[in-house]
């Protein structure tokens, strides 16, 4: 309960009046000399207890009547309902849900349109002298204004301009912001309106925190939920769940099939959904593809084929039409299209006289099993002794194939210069694959590349070898493969079966310190493939040989070595792409070599009716261990293509980011019933349906919630009771 005119409660001091009157009249007793005092005394003794009780009851009734009078003129109102129906000024705070479920069209209008209309209607009901603050809320909140909170026209204009985002619903931040705003208000009547479709995620994602905020708001203001969805009205919705391409490393001069996954998250079938896919804004197929029907809960794959012509990072965008929730009808994904992938093979046992017997032969075969001429994977081989820093130019991946580290012989093994440059290459984002063999000395590797050197090895190597016989070799165990890693496919058929045809007779023991991650183990449980992320790059370590020294090798594309090579190269080259695909609301980070304090712009997607893309100023952060400085953009509430560019540069003069709608928002957009809302928030809230009659509903709510009439009725009852009691007891004179 709250008091709309709390100062009137000073009137409660009037309870002192009957007490004062008691003493006043006591002083005004008429003296009377009296003879039969003993009769009088006896009568008093017989009646005093009853009289005292009657007088106390009467005093209590009179005091309560005065308290009720004070309460009535203080205008008591319910804390959960608005209580400002007597024309007094109101400090209002509007929280408008801008999650993309508010774009759902469950009638002739979208929910956001209803929210805007309802907010304008509530603004019309605010008495003269009232104030209003407008807050937008999705999974984060922002106070829009107005600059002068008493300027209701500006508030009305702000409300009219509110647009949806690609974010999901969570009312907690909005309620928190509203609480702060309402607490800063004066001591007048205060109201907080939440215009939302009240979907479950909005109230339940942080249920305890939302309940707490609601309770806090109720203590200082009246909290009213304005439901903008239509209860019982289903919203047909098909979301673009994913898009993938059927090629390991997208490269130019190829035609790639794109698989679009559409998912019906609604409660009824959706018919006639049209799907379109564009690459860098250009449709990959001339016409949209229409899907006859997608049933509720069904994930429907649609394949579209497009040619990749331009090398570099592009954006694949998928759009669908035909449902009533447009917010999740789009999905963006960055794609790195390569012209060539430069790979340096550093061979520790080159055999010019017998190229097919050298170590690089097997990897070359695995990378290009079809021996396609002018293949996009461009390999260059160099012996370990001859490898120099310049060999790394233009390369994205380096393979160390049974390459020894130079020790005493200055003409053999990897030179320190190369190793030093190799470490810089990896830290800068390059990929390194290390395979073993007879020439790999564990101690030398540990000193040069391990924990005592460049710290590139996932684990330090031990001297002991794991040895097996040809009759009973090790082989990678499918169930020991890290499912979350890029080798995850090896857990499943047909790769899982192929693993059993791998025969490993010898391998190094990579179980020392190093901080790496084991991706696959052999049947004996020994680490076989491990990885370590080193700054921007990554090292893949194979404990065996990638030739036929310590096991067998197969150039069969369906066997182990070819997919291992493809997965590895795909994984390592993918790491080098600046930018990427993110979900709306996620910070976009670009690691740059910029100077301290360098200015950047986050260039967002253009708004529907605007020509220029909006920019947000960014500044490079402090340098990391690798010397690069992160530039972070957080204003990513709308799905689309973003760029982070140096300030003043062209919109696309920087890494590209694809930002997608938060998929959680489209999972359940059905408006809940009042009972469900009450369960989620832990009390029975005041809920007004947005639409025609919002204004009247709000005013009725205010009128109903004020208890003045009830207090006056109580006062009347108390006065009647007081009179009846006084008459009954003879105390009325």
Nearer to other proteins, 31 or 281 (CB): 31
- Provide, rounded to whole angstroms, the least separation between the CB of residue 71 and other proteins: 31
- Provide, rounded to whole angstroms, the least separation between the CB of residue 732 and other proteins: 10
Nearer to other proteins, 23 or 612 (CB): 23
- Provide, rounded to whole angstroms, the least separation between the CB of residue 58 and other proteins: 12
- Provide, rounded to whole angstroms, the least separation between the CB of residue 64 and other proteins: 22
Which two three-digit tokens encode residue 642?
A: 């973003």
Nearer to other proteins, 43 or 653 (CB): 43
- Provide, rounded to whole angstroms, the least separation between the CB of residue 722 and other proteins: 17
Burial 265-294 (b: 16+ CB within 10 A, else e): bbeeebeebebbbbbbeeebeeebeebeeb
Strand partners, 333: 316
Q: Which of 23, 25, 147, 408 binds other proteins (CB under 8 A)?
A: 25
Nearer to other proteins, 147 or 733 (CB): 733
Specify whether the backbone of 378 is left (phi greater than 0), alpha (psi in -120 to 50) or beta: beta
Pairing mode, strands 189-196 and 90-97: parallel
Q: What number of chain residues touch other proteins (CB under 8 A)?
A: 26
- Provide, rounded to whole angstroms, the least separation between the CB of residue 8 and other proteins: 34
424/71 Cα distance (integer angstroms): 78
315, 332 contact by CB (below 8 A): yes
Nearer to other proteins, 5 or 731 (CB): 731
561/552 Cα distance (integer angstroms): 10
Q: What residues from 530 to 589 belong to the interface with other proteins (CB under 8 A)?
A: none
CA distances from 37 to 40, 42, 49, 51, 405 (A): 5, 8, 19, 19, 127
- Provide, rounded to whole angstroms, the least separation between the CB of residue 132 and other proteins: 59
Which two three-digit tokens encode residue 685?
A: 């809230």
Whether residue 494 is preceded by a cis peptide bond, meaning omega within 30 degrees of 0, is yes
Three-class DSSP category at 208: helix
Q: What residues from 334 to 363 belong to the interface with other proteins (CB under 8 A)?
A: none
Nearer to other proteins, 12 or 731 (CB): 731
Nearer to other proteins, 38 or 147 (CB): 38
145/135 Cα distance (integer angstroms): 7
Nearer to other proteins, 37 or 471 (CB): 37
Which two three-digit tokens encode residue 122?
A: 């509530």
Nearer to other proteins, 44 or 157 (CB): 44
Which two three-digit tokens encode residue 217?
A: 């708001």
> Which residues neighbour 441 within 8 Å (Cβ) at sequence distance 6 or greater?
404, 405, 407
563/483 Cα distance (integer angstroms): 15
> What's the order of all strands across the beta sheet hosting 579-583?
579-583, 656-660, 640-646, 599-603, 615-619
- Provide, rounded to whole angstroms, the least separation between the CB of residue 727 and other proteins: 13
Tell the residue number behind the tokens 């804004």, with chain if given: 281
Which two three-digit tokens encode residue 656?
A: 């590209």
Nearer to other proteins, 32 or 472 (CB): 32
- Provide, rounded to whole angstroms, the least separation between the CB of residue 17 and other proteins: 18
- Provide, rounded to whole angstroms, the least separation between the CB of residue 721 and other proteins: 19
Using the rule CB under 8 A, give the single segment among 27-35, 219-227, 527-535, 577-585 that binds other proteins: 27-35
Nearer to other proteins, 37 or 472 (CB): 37
Strand partners, 506: 467
- Provide, rounded to whole angstroms, the least separation between the CB of residue 57 and other proteins: 14
> What is the torsional sign of CA 279, 285, 286, 287?
negative
Nearer to other proteins, 36 or 281 (CB): 36
- Provide, rounded to whole angstroms, the least separation between the CB of residue 40 and other proteins: 6
CA angle 10/13/15 to nearest 5° reads: 140
Q: What residues from 29 to 68 belong to the interface with other proteins (CB under 8 A)?
A: 29-44, 46-47, 51
> What is the torsional sign of CA 343, 346, 351, 356?
negative
- Provide, rounded to whole angstroms, the least separation between the CB of residue 717 and other proteins: 25
Q: What residues from 703 to 732 belong to the interface with other proteins (CB under 8 A)?
A: 729-731
Q: What is the chain's Cα-based Rg?
A: 39
Using the rule CB under 8 A, give the single segment among 20-28, 256-264, 358-366, 667-675 that binds other proteins: 20-28
Nearer to other proteins, 24 or 150 (CB): 24
What's the N-to-C CA distance of the chain in angstroms? 38
5/88 Cα distance (integer angstroms): 9
Render 450-497 in DSSP notation, one character per residue.
STTTT--SSSPPEEEEEE--SSS-B-B-GGGS-TTSTTGGGGSTTHHH
- Provide, rounded to whole angstroms, the least separation between the CB of residue 42 and other proteins: 5
Nearer to other proteins, 144 or 729 (CB): 729
- E strands present in 172-230: 189-196, 222-227
| Residues that bind other proteins in the complex, under the rule CB under 8 A | 25-26, 28-44, 46-47, 51, 729-731, 733
């Amino acid at each position: 309960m709250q008091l709309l005119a709390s100062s009137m409660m000073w009137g409660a001091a009037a309870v002192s009046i009957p007490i004062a009157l008691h003493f006043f009249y006591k002083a005004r007793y008429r003296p009377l000399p009296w003879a039969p005092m003993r009769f009088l005394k006896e009568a008093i003794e017989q009646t005093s207890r009853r009289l005292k009780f009657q007088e106390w009851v009467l005093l209590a009734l009179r005091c309560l009547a005065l308290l009720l009078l004070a309460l009535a003129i203080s205008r008591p109102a319910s804390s959960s309902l608005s209580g400002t129906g007597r024309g007094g000024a109101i400090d209002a705070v509007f929280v408008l849900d801008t999650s993309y479920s508010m774009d759902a069209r469950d009638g002739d209008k979208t929910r956001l349109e209803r929210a805007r209309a309802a907010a304008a209607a509530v603004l019309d009901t605010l008495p003269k002298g009232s104030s209003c603050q407008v807050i937008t809320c999705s999974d984060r909140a922002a106070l829009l204004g107005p600059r002068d909170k008493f300027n209701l026209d500006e508030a009305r204009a702000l409300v009219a301009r509110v647009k949806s985002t690609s974010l999901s619903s969570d009312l907690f931040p909005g309620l928190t912001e509203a609480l702060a705003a309402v607490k800063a208000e004066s001591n007048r009547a205060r109201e907080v309106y939440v215009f939302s479709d009240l979907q479950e995620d909005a109230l339940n994602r942080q249920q305890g925190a939302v309940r707490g905020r609601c309770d806090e708001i109720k203590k200082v203001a009246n909290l009213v939920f304005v439901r903008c969805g239509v209860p019982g009205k289903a919203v047909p919705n098909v979301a673009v769940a994913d898009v993938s391409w059927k090629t390991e490393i997208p490269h130019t001069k190829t035609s790639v099939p794109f698989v679009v996954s559409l998912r019906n998250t609604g409660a009824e079938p959706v018919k006639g959904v049209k799907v379109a896919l564009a690459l860098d804004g250009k449709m990959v197929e001339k016409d949209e593809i229409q899907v006859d029907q997608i049933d509720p809960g069904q994930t429907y794959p649609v394949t579209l084929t497009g040619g990749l012509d331009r090398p570099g990072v592009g954006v694949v965008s998928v759009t669908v039409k035909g449902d009533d929730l447009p917010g999740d009808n789009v999905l963006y994904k960055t794609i790195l299209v390569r012209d060539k992938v430069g790979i340096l093979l550093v061979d520790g046992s080159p055999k010019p006289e017998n190229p097919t017997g050298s170590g690089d032969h097997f990897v070359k075969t695995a990378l290009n099993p079809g021996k396609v001429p002018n293949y996009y994977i461009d390999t260059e081989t160099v012996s370990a002794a001859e490898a120099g820093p310049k060999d790394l130019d233009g390369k994205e991946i380096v393979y160390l194939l049974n390459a020894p580290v130079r020790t005493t012989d200055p003409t053999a093994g990897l030179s320190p210069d190369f190793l030093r440059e190799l470490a810089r290459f990896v830290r800068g984002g390059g990929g390194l694959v290390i395979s073993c063999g007879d020439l790999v000395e564990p101690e030398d590797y540990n000193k040069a590349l391990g924990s005592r050197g460049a710290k590139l090895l996932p684990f330090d190597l031990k001297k002991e070898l794991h040895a097996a016989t040809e009759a009973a070799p090790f082989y990678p165990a499918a169930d020991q493969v890290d499912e979350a890693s890029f080798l995850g496919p090896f857990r499943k058929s047909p790769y899982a079966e192929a693993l059993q045809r791998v025969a490993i007779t010898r391998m190094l023991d990579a179980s020392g310190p190093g901080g790496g991650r084991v991706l696959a183990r052999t049947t004996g449980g020994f680490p076989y493939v491990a990885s370590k992320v080193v700054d921007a790059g990554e090292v893949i370590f194979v404990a065996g040989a990638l030739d036929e020294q310590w096991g067998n090798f197969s150039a069969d594309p369906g066997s182990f070595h070819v997919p291992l090579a493809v997965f590895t190269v795909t994984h390592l080259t993918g790491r080098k792409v600046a930018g990427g695909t993110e979900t709306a609301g996620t910070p976009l980070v670009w690691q740059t070599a910029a100077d301290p304090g360098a200015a950047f712009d986050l260039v967002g997607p253009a708004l529907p009716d605007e020509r220029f893309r909006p920019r947000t100023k960014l500044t490079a952060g402090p340098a990391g261990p690798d010397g690069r400085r992160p530039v972070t953009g957080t204003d990513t509430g709308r799905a689309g293509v973003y760029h982070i560019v140096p300030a003043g540069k062209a919109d696309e003069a920087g890494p590209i980011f694809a930002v997608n709608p938060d998929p959680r928002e489209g999972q359940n957009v059905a408006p809940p019933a009042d009972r469900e809302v009450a369960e989620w928030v832990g009390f029975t809230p005041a809920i007004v349906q947005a639409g025609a009659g919002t204004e009247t509903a709000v005013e009725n709510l205010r009128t109903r919630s004020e208890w003045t009439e009830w207090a006056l009725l109580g006062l009347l009852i108390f006065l009647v009771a007081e009179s009846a009691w006084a008459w009954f007891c003879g105390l009325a004179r």
